[in-house]
Chains A and B, each alone.
Chain A
Amino acid sequence: MNPPEAPLLAVRNLHTRFHTLDGVVNAVDGVDFEVYPGETLGLVGESGCGKSVTAFSILQLLRCPPAEIQGQVEFEGVDLLGLDKEAVRRIRGGGISMIFQEPMTSLNPVLKIGEQIAEGVRVHKKMTHRQSRRWAVEMLRMVRISSPGSRARQYPHKFSGGMRQRAMIAMALSCRPRLILADEPTTALDVTIQAQVMELMQELKKEFNTAIVLITHDLGVIAEMASRVVVMYAGKIVEEAPVREIFKDPRHPYTRGLLGSIPVIGRKAETGRRLQEIPGVVPSPMEAPPGCRFHPRCSEALALCSTQPPPVIRLTDNRCVRCWLEAGDNEKKTSDFV
């Protein structure tokens, strides 16, 4: 069951196209999902399947043109795609903020860390310079950066990768947003730092009841943080389920492939099997295969899969899958995601 409240964010039929010299690229092709207050939604898939473009489309951070965004992105009941630039600007950082993948390049090298946190606060919280600087130091303390007072006066090159990502989290949380879009927040960090950053995000999320859309290709991160999971493939959502169920009983062959390719210590010794992989790569959005986009890589594909796009099958109240394998065996009704 979905939480009973109204969704904080409802993405409906989102399409993001890029008009390039080689033709139109459908990076996001009809994506629907909802995020409820305080929950963590995992958005998973391989590189190039449209996860990041989805997040960038929500905050309209893509350059238009070449990008063209269509559909609905309702945040607290208001469609962001229908708002003017000024209203969107007020949502950015205030209502929805973002954490980026590359802490090394996402901070401005010529501005002090404290100022980079404070400038957003001044815009959204109407603070003076002095108040915002003090606020920035408090935020750095909150993400457990030692001696935050002097650290706030330093430039990003004095910070390590993990510290930069903490500073980024401090920046994202500084205006107490209701939603954070975290685009691969731990991918560029080494494993021990990853664990620390994830733990920190969990704690802060609890403290402020912030909802998170966690974009990652790392299912370990999903298992630890997310309550629900949306699996994307080639610009479309292929499966949506609560996190426990997706690990226990993945229904889409792609999800099964992703889960099968996680190395488990000792598995080969037990079963004698090598680590599984999904053969091939995500197709370019410009030459998406007909029918189910996954069929060329799918070991269970039917004849139907290569000609007809699969319907979305609602399995239970909170589980959907886009696959012909689930359609044939009974009269489950087709539906939309969400």
Chain B
Amino acid sequence: MRFRYHTRYSDARKLLPWTEGRVAYLLLVLALIAAPFVLQRFWVGELSYIFILAIASLGLMILKGYTGQVSLGPAAFVAIGAYAHALMLDAGVPFAVSLCLTLIISGAAGLMIGLPAIRVSGLSLAMMTLAFAVIVEHVLGRWKTLTGGFSGLPVETPVLFGFRLGTPTAFYFLCLAILIITLLGLVNLMRGPKGRAFVAVRDSEAAAWGLGIDVARTRVEAFVLSSAILGLSGALMAHHVQHLTPEGFGLLLSLELVLMVVIGGLGSLRGALLGAVLIGFLPRLISMAKPLLPAQVSAQFGLEIFAYGLVLAVFVLFEPRGLEGRWQKTKAFLTSFPVYRRDTFRRQKTYMRSERLK
């Protein structure tokens, strides 16, 4: 057992208070830096894709995990980011500028959906975002003069400060850098006043109003921030797939993103990352497991969707707090090893709140 002793308030603001934690994260970063020089080309590409998914997952976590707004169409914002970025590169906008503009454009798309979303929540909001995703996918398919329709839109190789980032290794480092910057920014934001306001809106709107938090505005801000980050991941996704088609941003991608945040553990940035890793590797795990399965099963179509459903069902039944919850439990078990109490994380009774005021 160990306890945190603070001698000044700034001690409580340290991100990594323990030496072990600092060493662990340092090793993780070193391993990620070494990875492209050790792994095969294919796996470097796979890891880059996981990083892109992780950025998208972080974006969705802000909306779903921190402000409690259900979105079933996050892929729409990824698509908007991807197409906006590809079209701007086509028009000769420099890569870095285009990336910043993508943030603004997809943020503006979020504002467009976020403003009417003030009036709806829960299931209605879920349906609204789902409808938006379907509309975006169809518009991208039909607006042939701009997007190339279903035959697709080729994406130019990123060029940053005169360096062509065409090789898998260079692109890997670009994705890793943007992921780390996004993560650090969000960690800071979520432990500051804005992040607390998000959580307040999620847990009790009545109390949030009473404390002077503009609930409507906060919900829109979460929408804008979330879509901007989803759009950023879309820009990187465009380079990853190199040829944009509307099908790439269909409901399956939305489903994957929603699964990432739910299975990762709502309300935790680490959960978003863990969820992205699990869901991102799932298709590879399935294809690796295929030779081991009986022929009737492995020949089936749509094994991935089945696996998504299975993983979701298992988590909802056995670990509702997701991978983050499992992580916390494992950590608590290890740090308090001989005296770990089985019921530490037992779910507590929740008290009824009947006076629900909008």
Bind each other: no
B interface residues with partner A (beta carbon < 8 Å): none
